Amino acid sequence: MNFLLFELKKIRNIRFMYLLIAIPIITVITIFTLRFFTDVNFSEQERIKANQLLADLNWRIPDFYYAEQDPTTELSDEDALLYELIDQAERERFTYSVSAYYEEWTDMNKAKQNIWDLLLQIAEIDPELRSVNIEDLQMEKPVIDWAVEYDVGTHDFSTDQNSLFVLFKSFDWLFSLPAIMLVIFFFCLSIFLEPNYSVFKFSQVLPLSYVKIMGNKLVIFFAIIGTYIGSTIIGSLFISIFDSASLIAQLNYPLVKIAEGEMITKPFWQVLLFQILFFIGLTLLSLVIVAVLAKLFHNELFITFIVGAVGLIGMQMTRLSSTVKITFNPFAWLDTVNFIFFQRTDRIITVLAILFIVVVCLTYFVLLRNLRLPKLKRKAKYRGIRKLSKSFLLRYEWLKLNRQSILFYSTAIIVAFTLFSAIDNYQYLEVQTDQAYQDYVNERDRLRNQVDSYPEIIEAYQQHLDNPDTHPNDLIWLEQFLNMYKSEQQVAESKLAEIEAIEADFLSGDLSVLNKIEHRRLKDDYLFVARTGEVQSSSIIPIDHVIFMPNAYINYRLSEWKIENEIDFVPPGGPYKTLLIPGYEESPRSGEMQPPSGIDREVFDFYLAEVDKEHRYLSGLNLLADLFNEYFYLVIFILLIGFYSLSYVREWDGQGTIRYLLVQPISLKRTFKSKMLSSLTMGFCFVAITSLLVFVIGSLLNGVGQLNFPFVQYVSDSLGLASKEAFIEIPMTMKFFRIIPLWQLLLMGLGLLLTNIVMINQLVYYLSTFAKNQWAIMATSILILGAGYIFSIILPFDFQQFLPFLYLDIGRVLTGETAILENYQYLNWCTGMIVQSLAALGLTLLSLRRLRKFND
């Protein structure tokens, strides 16, 4: 026991051990607390489902009723049984609906169970149900049986507060790959890498073998993992007093998924057990891999990050693969939740057996053995720099930064983020492209059927008109309907001709031809809202109200730009999301959020879902644009603060070579100027190399891209009114915007990024003249920048647009989102570059003034 306590003290910071208990408990309680804010109206949900069943059942009952009344029709035994089942299901549906209304959950679940039994029998005879299908019935049936068996009133696996359901949700965070890497780095790695350091010589004089020593370290590892898992379970026990279902009921909750056409059902206790076993096995496997690589390269932090990044990228690449193909793919095991959900139990047991066999073998032959591994750490090479040579100080600082491999490590981190995002975008693009093909085929077939049906309908109306026995009063509405169907026929034939005209190009893989169809649809939406009379309805816009004009008009102009500049089609196609989408409004009477007046909630939700679809376009140039649009530049800022701009701070705290420089005939002012310039130049090189690698990754995956790819830039009302000729005005509103090409966005973003780098560097440079601790300067820098930005957001005064903090959010500045929300007339990329350059100059002058005091 004393030896185990001795090993525990070797953890980086023994106080971190308390985090093994605190973090899991806090995570579980936080998820539990957040679920209180998710209000689910079970009564309304169940009544809606009952009404859907009413539509399914009642449309069939009259057919059988008339068949029974008609003496010339003879019902078969199968039809008679079907009618009896439908009639019985309708009676149960009434009980189901009434119980849901009065919230009598036990009676409701029993009625629901009876209905589902009857519907499954009906589906075997006649599967043509309108609102439900056989797969939904089969997936919901085990859950309904569970609710009846354990007398569970209401439940919602993804939102309710039952403790084990919350525990499972916490596994998404606590048992994820990033969590595994953090546990390894902070709690395990220092223990197992001790043989690499001279302190291990003390342990070697003990009367213990190397295997015994490492075995004790392995016991510590399992104690750490056990504490972590136990704390998670304890956190769920704290909230179990609020459970609406017993622990036995929760453990037996059936999780049902369909994979490869097969329905897979698992009890919940099995899923929890598999999650814990995978976490233990994958953590130990990751520890072995990280420990071996860290022994080779002697850089624990970087190796831990790279192993985690490679795991995340590999896991992402398995997301779209067939479940059968990824059963024995180790990267798929890292996505534990999906792997357990969509794999059969026998396969999971086989995988766990393989995982633990591999882990045991690697642990015994690698972790517990004193392997003699080569040292691959780069050796420092002497590069002579004459003291009197030109730019000696600058070259000297570059040499020190280069020996620390800062540029390499930082670039690798950004590339890892980029690869993960690029692969995610590529997979999304593949899915959406396949969906575009399917939508095209469905639309073509629908129009063909529609066109084929019109001649028969028109002929029937024409016969009624030509019939001399037709009443004169009926001739008017018959003629109106005839003209309406003829008009609809012409529209359908026109759309079909348009689709068939591009069929050959589309099926050959040329998606750009879909831009014409997209343009026609978005133009119709705009004309419908504009009330020109050319279009009578829209497929997504509920009514021709002015609130829908901004989004419709911007989409129309975007589609025009794409056709004029021959831009590639972006699946799933328009409409595209803009900042000017109408939303829910607070009712003055009830205080509840309601859709705009005169629009049903379901219709408005459909509209919001259509205009909120995600659009991604992967290419080299578009991936570069994501540096600004997806907040990747924040990672760059943090790396700059952490690795570049603090080179001089590390000198002050005794870890550098400034003492060597101070004994030379060189002023302190010149010394720090060289450090400032070296960090700046390395920052610029870092941005250049990172941008090049990002561009290469995107180009290899999906081509270079198009320089004229459109982006919408919003303009404040005051600036738009002052310069109407320079911007596009949205009809029926006082809103303005403009469309800019991709190359222009990249240039503006690059300019803002460079001035941000200079300002941040000078800020840290100035702060370093007050303190000699690297971490204090890092924390202070981040605090000043973060507080300044938050202050500029929550207090939107006009003078904020002339302060440098708003321009830290490059993406919102480039799109004009900040300007349009607060009506900032002068907030743009050009103002940002000027303001941040002046701020950097001011910080530089203040720093030099501080250094003069040191010299004095």
Instruction: Considering only residues 139 and 16, tell me which one the structure prediction assigns the higher pLDDT.
Output: 139
What pLDDT, in 10s, does the model give residues 90-138? 778 888 888 888 888 888 888 888 888 888 887 777 655 555 567 777 8
pLDDT bin (cut points 50, 70, 90) of residue 275 is very high
Domain-located, residue 399: no
Q: What is the mean pLDDT of residues 414-419?
A: 77
Cβ-Cβ contacts under 8 Å for 704 (sequence gap 6 or more):
619, 620, 621
Domain-located, residue 744: yes
pLDDT bin (cut points 50, 70, 90) of residue 279 is very high
Q: Are residues 323 and 360 in the same domain?
A: yes
What pLDDT, in 10s, does the model give residues 497-525? 888 887 777 777 777 778 888 888 888 88
Q: Are residues 99 and 171 in the same domain?
A: no
> What mean pLDDT, rounded, does the chain reach?
80
Judged by average pLDDT, the poorest of 204-213, 329-338, 776-785 is 204-213
Q: Note the pLDDT of residue 746.
A: 92
DSSP string, 598-632: T--HHHHHHHHHHHT------SHHHHHHHHHHSSH
Q: What is the mean pLDDT of residues 707-725?
A: 88
What pLDDT, in 10s, does the model give residues 41-53? 777 777 777 776 6
In whole angstroms, what is the distance from residue 160 CA to residue 149 CA?
Answer: 19
Sign (positive/negative) of CA torsion 202, 204, 206, 210? positive
Q: Note the pLDDT of residue 352.
A: 95
Judged by average pLDDT, the poorest of 186-200, 640-654, 699-713, 783-797 is 640-654
The residue written with tokens 């995988």 in the block is 351
Closest CA to 548 of 608, 478, 489, 617: 608
Q: Burial letters for 56-91: b for 16+ Cβ neighbours within 10 Å, e otherwise?
A: bbeebeeebeeeeeeeeeeeeeebeebbebbebbbe
Domain-located, residue 402: no
CA angle, residues 64, 69, 71, in degrees to nearest 5: 115
Q: Are residues 111 and 69 in the same domain?
A: yes
Q: Note the pLDDT of residue 713.
A: 92
Q: Are residues 195 and 256 in the same domain?
A: yes
DSSP string, 223-234: HHHHHHHHHHHH
Residue 675 has pLDDT above 90, yes or no: no
138 CB burial (10 A radius; 0-12, 13-18, 19+): middle
CA distances to 529, 546, 713, 729, 816 from 738, in Å: 21, 20, 5, 9, 10
Q: Among 583, 611, 639, where does a domain finish? A: 611
For 843, the domain range is 620-855
Structurally, the chain folds into a number of domains equal to: 4
Q: Note the pLDDT of residue 653.
A: 44
Q: Note the pLDDT of residue 833.
A: 93
Instruction: Considering only residues 784 and 433, tell me which one the structure prediction assigns the higher pLDDT.
Output: 784
SS3 199: coil
Residue 608 has pLDDT above 60, yes or no: yes
Residue 84 has pLDDT above 90, yes or no: no
Q: What is the mean pLDDT of residues 369-397?
A: 57
Q: Note the pLDDT of residue 388.
A: 46
Q: Are residues 677 and 641 in the same domain?
A: yes
Q: What is the mean pLDDT of residues 272-293?
A: 92
Q: Are residues 188 and 291 in the same domain?
A: yes
> Which is it for strands 710-715 and 736-741: parallel, antiparallel or unpaired?
antiparallel
Judged by average pLDDT, the poorest of 8-17, 455-464, 847-856 is 8-17
Domain-located, residue 337: yes
pLDDT bin (cut points 50, 70, 90) of residue 353 is very high
Domain-located, residue 389: no
The structure tokens listed for 816 are 């004009």
In whole angstroms, what is the distance from residue 753 CA to residue 628 CA?
Answer: 9
pLDDT bin (cut points 50, 70, 90) of residue 385 is very low
Sign (positive/negative) of CA torsion 271, 273, 276, 278? negative
Domain-located, residue 387: no
Q: Note the pLDDT of residue 347.
A: 92
pLDDT > 90 fraction of the chain, expressed in percent and rounded: 13
Q: Note the pLDDT of residue 752.
A: 92
Q: Note the pLDDT of residue 710.
A: 92
Crossing angle for the helix pair 210-238 and 163-174, nearest 10 degrees?
Answer: 140
CA angle, residues 839, 786, 748, in degrees to nearest 5: 55
pLDDT bin (cut points 50, 70, 90) of residue 693 is confident
Domain-located, residue 602: yes
Q: Are residues 434 and 576 in the same domain?
A: yes
Residue 663 has pLDDT above 50, yes or no: no
Q: Are residues 145 and 168 in the same domain?
A: no
Q: Are residues 176 and 129 in the same domain?
A: no
Residue 366 has pLDDT above 90, yes or no: no
Residue 358 has pLDDT above 90, yes or no: yes
Q: Among 149, 169, 187, where does a domain finish? A: 149
Q: Are residues 12 and 143 in the same domain?
A: no
Domain-located, residue 381: no
Q: What is the mean pLDDT of residues 260-269?
A: 85
Q: Are residues 69 and 111 in the same domain?
A: yes
Q: What is the mean pLDDT of residues 431-453?
A: 82
Q: Note the pLDDT of residue 382.
A: 45
Start-to-end CA distance of the chain, whole Å, equals 59
Q: Are residues 355 and 222 in the same domain?
A: yes
pLDDT bin (cut points 50, 70, 90) of residue 654 is very low
Q: What is the mean pLDDT of residues 272-300?
A: 89
Q: Among 88, 120, 149, where does a domain finish? A: 149
